[in-house]
Every structure is written in structure tokens, then in C-alpha cells.
Amino acid sequence: CGETVFDKGEVVPRRYVLGLGSRTPVFFAGLLANNFVQRLGLTATDFHFSGTYEAGGLRIGYLRIPNFAPPSELNAIAELQNEIAYLQQNTDGLVVDVMRNTGGGCYMLTAASYLIPRPFFFFGEEVRVTIARINSIAAALAAAISQGASPFIIEQYQRILQELQIAYSEGRPRTPPIASPCSPTMHGNEPARDPQGNILAYTKPLIVLIDEFSISAGDIFPAMLQDNQRGPLVGTRTNGAGGSVIGLIVGTYSEAIAGNTNTLVTRIAPVQVPGYPVAHYIENIGAHADIPLDYMTRSNLLLGGRPFVDAFTGVIVNEIRGTYYE
């Protein structure tokens, strides 16, 4: 009906999130006001959105990742590799935008490998232990072996099954943190390299834009860059919805669905944030900005995001110059 009625009787319009999962940033008008030159995002086949602009005598790169589930991962990787090569050669610093990123899968590992120029920590998962899960992993392992799957896939299944069986035999509800299905290891993931072994990752200063609509992998990705001290997070707390969740039907005759968390995503170390418990989890905590900056203000609404763009531009300029943003 387009309206919400509250207990006191007042009626207010429904509000919807603009730009959720969109390739084009919500503050695009603010970028254009800074003489932004767009590169990616001009054609329907582009997955990323990118460009450059000038500020403080420096050339700033901008790269938006709308989600981590590209229609074609091979095409997205080729696009990302080419764009990072250009940005490495033609910019002094980079703004990585995962605001309103709706999540996805293992493409976030690929993206990280092009942004972190050294071995890095990805993330771990504590997996919920049930006999049904043990049986399903055992069946998947048997199928992988019989079908001649790659050693990587077989080793992944073996590792997960072993941890599940140990936790089950000890009566523990979850496994300890184990590497995600995207990588065989939590630590020591390698940056992107060419066939000759040269690092392809961006090596210059960068910042990461986040907000409360950075969801799931959109939570994990900035937290992982923060854990690897790659650059400050700028914005507002992410959603806190990381991890693997499934929907279960509630009762035989019910149309209701209940969400069930299968895994808890773990960070490199416990994080202390005012108002939240000290924990190494992302669920219900999210990734918190090193530099708070709220896009959802009246001035940004009226001015197309120009104040927001000016503020984060000041942050990346100071990062490039090696100064601290106050």
C-alpha cells in the first residue's frame, strides 16, 4: 500500500534503499561535480564501475564493486586485472567502494588479491555441527573422489569433514575457525601475479567505503582489508550479516520460513568496538569504520552526495600524503 501505520496513528511513507547492489554509486552526481572521468560502467557488460578525478594536485582512482557475484567471474577477473593495471600506473591513491554491496561468494578473494600486494589473511568460519551436515559433506567428498575432482576440492572436503567429526565426537556445537571454501588457508593467501610471478595488485594507498547496507560478503570483504591493515574503512558500520545462512520451512502446514546460521565468520583477532562485545565475529557486529562518515544526511540528499565525496576525498588525499585525517 506504500504506507506504514504506527501505534500512535500517524501514517508515514514507506522508505526504500536506493542503489542497493547497483553498479552506479548513489553519490554519482557528487563525483561528477569533481570532474570525474568515468572508465568502467559505461556499457551493459561492465561489472565494475570506475574512473579518476583530481584533488589536491593528486589523481584519485575510484573503483566500485556492487556485489561479489558477477554474472561471469572470468570476465569480471579480466576486467578487474586490466583496470587495476591502469589505476596502478595512473593514480596516486584509490577509493574502493563497497557501500550497498549485496554480497556474493569467492569473487571477494579475487578482489582482495588485486588490492593487497602481499600475503594476506582471508577469513575463517566456525561451522555448525550436525549429523546431517557430516553426512552431506561425507557424501560430497565421495562424489568428488568418484568424479575425479581436483585435489583442491577433495582436500577442502576432507578438511571440513575431519573438523566436523572431531567437534561432533567431543560434543561441541561448532568447529574451531577453519578456512573458507574459497581458499585452502586462512593465512598466507597470495596477491595476484602474472605468469612470471610479478605482483599485479594495487600497491598505493587506498580507502574502503562502507555503510549499513554492505551485506554478507560485503561485510567480510572490508573487515578482511581492515584486518590486513590495507587501508582505513570510511563510512558507517556494515550490516553484520556475514556467514552462511539457509532458510527452513517452519512446520508442515506453515508458509513461514526461519533463517538458520550455518557458519560464523571469524576475523584475524578479537575486535573491541564501543557498545559491542569483544569478539572476532562479524555476525551482529559488522565491520566498523576507522573514520566515521555518514552519507545519509540532508545535505547529501540535496546536493547529490557532494559533501560525502568531498569528505572521503579529503581522507584519501591525507592517506596519500601520509597524514592523519582529523
Closest CA to 225 of 202, 195, 248, 259: 202
So what's the pLDDT on residue 36?
Answer: 97
C-alpha torsion 160→106→19→229, nearest 10: 90
Which residue shows C-alpha cell 571454501? 181
**3-state DSSP call for residue 30?**
helix
So what's the pLDDT on residue 261?
Answer: 77
Angle, in degrees to the nearest 10, between helices 151-169 and 131-146:
160
So what's the pLDDT on residue 12?
Answer: 56
User: H helices within 91-242, ranges in order?
Assistant: 107-113, 131-146, 151-169, 217-227
So what's the pLDDT on residue 8?
Answer: 55
**Cell representation of residue 35:** 570532474
Which stretches of the chain score pLDDT less than 50?
1-6, 324-326
> pTM of the prediction?
0.89
Residue type, 267: R
Rounded CA separation 88/124 (Å) = 30
So what's the pLDDT on residue 11?
Answer: 60
User: H helices within 69-216, ranges in order?
Assistant: 73-90, 107-113, 131-146, 151-169
